[in-house]
């Protein structure tokens, strides 16, 4: 059996496994009978009419179907959905970092390293500005007040995790910051969390990611940017310009990815990201109680907590990701029980975040009318 045949067989097996897992997850929250349906034709129409390219996973009543449109690498005529393509997840990684921290929190309970959402981060960063006021929960909810403009500006160097974290510390210490407790979405919070994971475990973020996420779930197309195997290719991002597709090609450089450990250096596929979403509640990574803890932290000032926005009174969860100077757009919106929703990894677009969400909302309305959030 060649590699491509193996991948196609594994993908079919994975899709069946995910459908079964979704059907078993949170039975008490099972949705009402679906009254509409989003089809592959609907997705293709949205992608075609709006000059998009990418990979989409539709989740409807516990069943999943993938829709791939356009090229992942136009120069090589490599199509989206090809067996060797992976996509930058951007900020969709943040919930994974949060989940790893909650895992460690559970492991350290009743030990000298015990900590909680209320623990001040001065324990790990004694020389960081305002660290004696900022809690773990503040970092997880972007309410630390920290701001570090330029975290995604290409410095053209492949940084170690330690150097990336130290850059954030130096930037915070050397510049004006918002008041602790105020919401400011910023990569620095999750880069600092990656540093806390390192300090608590004695291992790199990359090691923890591999041993806590990738290996336990058996993920074949999920890795950190610098660990993408030679048998796989990162999708190239493109802009639609001058009524022409596949313009201004740009990929996520290793250098930029190395600057944002824990905040945006993960690559994956829609179907494997869905498997992660299931694992955050079915006990493979976290259980339902752990996930509720992560997404309902006391420090939150918005619906954002632990890497996701909890919308519609917690009935749906969502996150959006993009990388500065590139054209990727990643978006997830799922019901709380993971049985309905969409995961979209776009590698060509001209739309803003809100415009892309608006296009996706039309598909979500077909999946389960009146359930999802526009924003």
Report the alpha-carbon distance of residue 226 to residue 260 in Å, rounded.
12
Tokens standing for 333? Answer: 């919106």
Question: What local confidence, expressed as pLDDT, does residue 37 receive?
Answer: 85
pLDDT band of residue 17 (cuts 50, 70, 90) is low
Q: What is residue 170's three-state secondary structure? A: helix
Question: What local confidence, expressed as pLDDT, does residue 241 receive?
Answer: 95
| Beta-ladder partners of 305 | 308
Residue closest to 80 by CA, chosen among 182, 223, 233, 224: 233
pLDDT band of residue 318 (cuts 50, 70, 90) is very high
CB atoms within 10 A of CB 348: 29
DSSP code, position 211: I
Tens digit of each residue's pLDDT (9 = 90 or more) over 150-168: 999 999 999 999 999 999 9
What is the rounded average pLDDT for all residues in the chain?
Answer: 93
pLDDT at 20 over 60: no
Report the alpha-carbon distance of residue 164 to residue 358 in Å, rounded.
35
DSSP code, position 234: E
- Residue with more model confidence, 46 or 15: 46
Angle between helical axes of 40-49 and 353-367 (0-180°, round to 10): 160
243 phi, psi to nearest 5 deg = 60, 30
DSSP code, position 69: E
pLDDT at 2 over 50: no
Report the alpha-carbon distance of residue 372 to residue 40 in Å, rounded.
19
Q: Determine whether 204 is exposed, middle or buried from the number of CB atoms within 10 Å of its CB (0-12, 13-18, 19+).
A: middle
pLDDT band of residue 363 (cuts 50, 70, 90) is very high
Residue closest to 299 by CA, chosen among 103, 127, 133: 133
Instruction: Please compute the mean of the pLDDT values over residues 29-46 and round it to a whole number.
Output: 72
pLDDT at 325 over 80: yes
Instruction: Please compute the mean of the pLDDT values over residues 258-282 and round it to a whole number.
Output: 99
pTM of the model as a whole: 0.91
Tens digit of each residue's pLDDT (9 = 90 or more) over 43-57: 999 999 999 999 999
Question: What local confidence, expressed as pLDDT, does residue 126 receive?
Answer: 98
pLDDT band of residue 375 (cuts 50, 70, 90) is confident
Q: Which ranges of 203-269 would DSSP assign to H, the alpha helix?
A: 205-209, 215-217, 254-259
Report the alpha-carbon distance of residue 351 to residue 126 in Å, rounded.
42
Q: Are 350 and 240 in contact (CB under 8 A)?
A: yes
Q: What is residue 350's three-state secondary structure? A: coil
pLDDT at 286 over 70: yes
Question: What local confidence, expressed as pLDDT, does residue 196 receive?
Answer: 99
Tens digit of each residue's pLDDT (9 = 90 or more) over 85-105: 999 999 999 999 999 999 999
Q: Which of 15-19, 70-74, 181-185, 370-374 has the lowest mean pLDDT?
A: 15-19
């Amino acid at each position: 059996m060649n590699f491509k045949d193996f991948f196609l067989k594994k993908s079919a097996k994975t899709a069946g496994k995910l459908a079964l897992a979704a059907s078993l997850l949170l039975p008490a929250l099972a949705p009402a009978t679906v009254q509409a349906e989003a089809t592959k034709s609907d997705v293709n129409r949205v992608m075609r009419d709006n000059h998009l390219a990418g990979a989409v996973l539709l989740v409807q009543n516990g069943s999943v179907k993938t829709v791939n449109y356009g090229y992942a690498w136009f120069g090589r005529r490599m199509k989206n959905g090809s067996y060797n393509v992976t996509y930058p997840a951007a900020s969709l990684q943040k919930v994974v970092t949060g989940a790893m921290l909650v895992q460690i929190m559970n492991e350290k309970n009743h030990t000298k390293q015990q900590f909680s959402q209320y623990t001040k981060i001065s324990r790990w960063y004694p020389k960081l500005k305002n660290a004696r006021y900022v809690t773990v929960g503040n970092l997880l909810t972007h309410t630390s007040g920290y701001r570090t403009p330029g975290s995604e500006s290409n410095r053209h160097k492949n940084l170690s995790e330690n150097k990336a974290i130290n850059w954030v510390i130096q930037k915070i210490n050397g510049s004006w910051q918002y008041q602790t407790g105020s919401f400011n979405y910023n990569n620095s919070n999750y880069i600092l969390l990656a540093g806390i994971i390192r300090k608590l475990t004695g291992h790199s973020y990359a090691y923890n990611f591999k041993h806590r996420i990738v290996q336990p779930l058996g993920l074949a197309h999920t890795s950190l940017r610098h660990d993408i195997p030679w048998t796989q290719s990162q999708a190239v991002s493109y802009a639609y310009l001058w009524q022409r597709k596949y313009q201004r090609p740009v990929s996520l450089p290793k250098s930029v990815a190395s600057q944002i450990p824990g905040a945006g250096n993960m690559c994956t596929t829609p179907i494997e990201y869905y498997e992660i979403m299931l694992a955050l509640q079915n006990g493979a990574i976290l259980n339902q109680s752990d996930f509720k803890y992560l997404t309902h932290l006391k420090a939150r000032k918005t619906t954002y907590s632990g890497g996701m926005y909890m919308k519609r009174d917690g009935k749906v969860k969502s996150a959006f990701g993009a990388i500065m100077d590139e054209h990727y757009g990643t978006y997830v919106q799922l019901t709380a029980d993971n049985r309905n929703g969409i995961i979209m990894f776009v590698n060509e677009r001209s739309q803003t975040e809100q415009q892309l969400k608006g296009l996706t909302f039309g598909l979500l309305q077909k999946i389960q009318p009146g359930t999802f959030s526009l924003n």
